[in-house]
Each structure stands twice: as C-alpha cells, then as structure tokens.
Chain A
Amino acid sequence: DGGITQSPKYLFRKEGQNVTLSCEQNLNHDAMYWYRQDPGQGLRLIYYSQIVNDFQKGDIAEGYSVSREKKESFPLTVTSAQKNPTAFYLCASSPLERRNEQFFGPGTRLTVL
C-alpha cells in the first residue's frame, strides 16, 4: 500500500528539548511539505522541498529545521527556539505532474510540557 507515514502519532517533550518528527512516503512523489495546525485554524506551511537535497522556508519556518537526504524522507526538527511548539504537525507530498493535489499523512500531535 502506498502512502505517507508519520510517527509517532502522539509525542510529549519537555520545554527546551529539540524533537524530530518523522515523515516517510512511498508514493515516489518529488515534493514534500510540513504544515502546522492549531485548534480551530487552518494549516500553515513550515517548510517544503521540491527535490532531494533542496528545501525552502514556508510562512512560519522560525524555530524549525528540515533535511531531505532521501526522496522518501523529510524529517522535521522542532527546536527549542520555537516559542509555541505544541500543535498538530502534518506532512504532505505531491507528484510533479499533479502539484495541485497534496496527499497528507495522519499527523503527529506534539505536546510540550
């Protein structure tokens, strides 16, 4: 079965710790994205990557970092510099020929205590 996996589903961390969220896809999609969703709000773009070894800042990149060493993987690190890290984080991907359609993973709900 092709799809996007994110792990873990729930994650708890203490304030001041960096944490890395996993995102893997086996859809052979070129582009991958990270979004943040807060309660009652829409999704906001953190970072995106069009191809391996390249990525671009989205609208709210401060306090986050990413890497794209493999086509199928796009991990997101939430650093201690992110002021309000508690949120629902969604990873997505899209194929080159259908960039209008993004496919989302199940999300990781991060709670920083």
Chain B
Amino acid sequence: GQSLEQPSEVTAVEGAIVQINCTYQTSGFYGLSWYQQHDGGAPTFLSYNGLDGLEETGRFSSFLSRSDSYGYLLLQELQMKDSASYFCAVKRGDYKLSFGAGTTVTVRA
C-alpha cells in the first residue's frame, strides 16, 4: 500500500517562509507532486519532482530526495491569498496519484 505523512496545520505571518514536509512509503514511485486547494475549491497543480533536487516556480519551490522518501514544498514571501490546503501526492505509474491528507496553511496579517 501507500502512505504519505504531512503536518496537518501550519500558521505563519505575511512575508514569512513556510516549509511543508512530506514523507512517503509506496511501491512504484515515479515522482512527487504538490497541489493547492482553497476552501471548497478545485485543487490546482503547483509542482512536480521526478528527480532529486529543487524545482523553483516563482515564490514556491519543491524538493525531493528519493533515497530518503522525502520531499517538501517551500512557500516564500507568504501572502494572505496563500491561505489554503496543500497536498503532496505520489505518482504511481503514468496515471495514478495517491494524495496525502493535506496541510492547512493559515497566513496572518
């Protein structure tokens, strides 16, 4: 089976940096994705790491270490609009994703 662990909640102030860790146990690992979901809305794709290392997309970066079965999402220069749930998801094969339970990020003024 698969299991993914990520913190349930993180709170930070505007302008701060937040790191959301994700550890996983799975068979057939292809890569790690991150999605953002605002309350009651559709998840939106943030990033994908197929290889070890850091991927940077604007204020967000994602990291993967396959040997440690570990990845993280880094949110920099936090803004109020970043308040949302963030999910890591393991890609198993070409089409299957297994999602973690999500981390709720609350940004305070």
Contacts and interface: CB of A to CB of B under 8 A. Distances in A.
Contacts of A56: 95
B95 A48 contact: yes
Contact of B45 (A31, A40, A103): A103
Q: What is the size category of the interface that chain A forms with chain B?
A: 20 to 34
Given A48-B95, A50-B95, A100-B33, A41 B44 contact: no
Interface string B73-109: 0000000000000010101001111111110000000
Contacts of A101: 33, 45, 48
A59 B95 contact: no
Nearest to B6: A42
Contacts of B94: 50, 99
A104 interface: yes
Q: What is the size category of the interface that chain B forms with chain A?
A: 20 to 34
Contacts of A94: 95
B95 A43 contact: no
B41 to A, nearest CB: 7
A44 interface: yes
Nearest to A92: B43
Interface string B50-88: 100000000000000000000000000000000000010
Contacts of A50: 94-95
B42 A40 contact: no
A107 interface: yes
A89 B58 CA distance: 30
A43 B42 contact: no
A66 interface: no
Contacts of B98: 45, 59
A43 B4 CA distance: 12
B41 A106 contact: yes
A63 interface: no
Interface of B: 4, 31, 33, 40-45, 48, 50, 87, 89, 91, 94-102
Which 6 pairs from chain A and chain B are nearest by CB? A42-B99, A104-B42, A100-B48, A43-B99, A101-B45, A104-B43
